[in-house]
Chains A and B, each alone.
Chain A
Amino acid sequence: MFKDLNPILHSQLRLAVISLLISVKEAEFTFLKEKTNATAGNLSVQIQKLKEAGYIDVIKQFKDNYPQTICKITPQGVNAFSEYVKSLQTYLGQK
């Protein structure tokens, strides 16, 4: 019996964001936007969903008088990502 894939992560943009954040300590919103080629609005919505799920921390601050948003993955996010990858591997291995 296959485990259900985590619906929060099983979406293109959210998975892309989590995959980027798993490899780094923290990243700016502009970096995530550039690497995912997403629009600012769509990215903000998906980041908010990840934040609500407790998978990422979002820090809003000012840098040189400009607003700056920094995202970093939480331990809960790391666990969820790890579980998600395991489920994918199980699924693909038994397909």
Chain B
Amino acid sequence: MDQQEKQLTEKESLELIATMINTAKNSYHDTGIGAIMWGALIAVCSLVKLAEMEFGFRLPFDINLIFILAVIPQIFITIKEKKERRVKSYADSYMDYIWLGFGICIILLTFIVYSMFSVWRPVSEEYRELTGHRSAFQLSEFISPFFLLLYGLPTFITGAACKFRPMFWGGLFCWLCSVTAIYTTIKIDLLLMAASAIMAWLIPGILMEREYRIYKKEQASPDV
């Protein structure tokens, strides 16, 4: 822009405003690393759980414990992204709270589920001893819909608010899987969990990361 204070015509002023507003809108790109990490992690954990059930082996540890470990790199990713961010949009603050709230809900839901199982397991075992067969109602068959329901919420909001279609559809896909999982066996539920993680986070994350790399390349190339 000129060193001198250039006087603009009214039309030029409006054009400049529109250009700058668009520039600001397109200036923030998520790296997509967090979405890729969580998408891949949930998909792999669900498939490993499914393999354990299908092929009758057990890992020496609960695969879901990886989620707790994944929080550590996520904290580093968040700090790094915040440091690199030179502009903060109004949506950013809300998004941070939405995803933080989602994380808290997942922890609470996990706690609630474990508490329910601790009550349900003795009842189920007593039923088996008395009747000689397993109860037709299996609590584990109804857990996935709750998680899928939660997965969909922040994904849908982020997709809609940031006008990022892959996440918008990913959120809807989670909700569709949530309803489907009510009527399916636990093995299918795990497949739906993996599919949801791939659709809601892994694929959008890869697309975000690609866009981010293009943006970075554009920033690095000198203006002609």
Q: Is the interface of A mostly helix, strand, loop or mixed?
A: helix
Task: Kindly state whether residue A38 has any CB partner on chain B within 8 Å.
Answer: yes
Q: Let me know if B25 and A23 touch, CB within 8 A.
A: yes
Q: Is the interface of B mostly helix, strand, loop or mixed?
A: helix
Known: A16-B20, A88-B14, A91-B10. A26 touches B1 (CB 8 A): no
Q: Let me know if A39 and B21 touch, CB within 8 A.
A: no
Task: Kindly state whether residue B221 has any CB partner on chain A within 8 Å.
Answer: no
Task: Kindly state whether residue A78 has any CB partner on chain B within 8 Å.
Answer: no
Q: How far is the CB of A52 from the nearest CB of chain B, in Å?
A: 15
Task: Kindly state whether residue A13 has any CB partner on chain B within 8 Å.
Answer: yes
| A42 to B3 Cα, complex, angstroms | 6
| A36 to B92 Cα, complex, angstroms | 23
Chain B residues within an 8 Å CB radius of A46: 5
Q: Which of A19, A39, A95 contacts B17 (CB 8 A)?
A: A19
Residue ranges of B at the interface with A (Cβ–Cβ < 8 Å) = 1-3, 5-8, 10-11, 13-14, 16-17, 19-21, 23-25, 27, 83, 86-90, 92-93, 219, 223
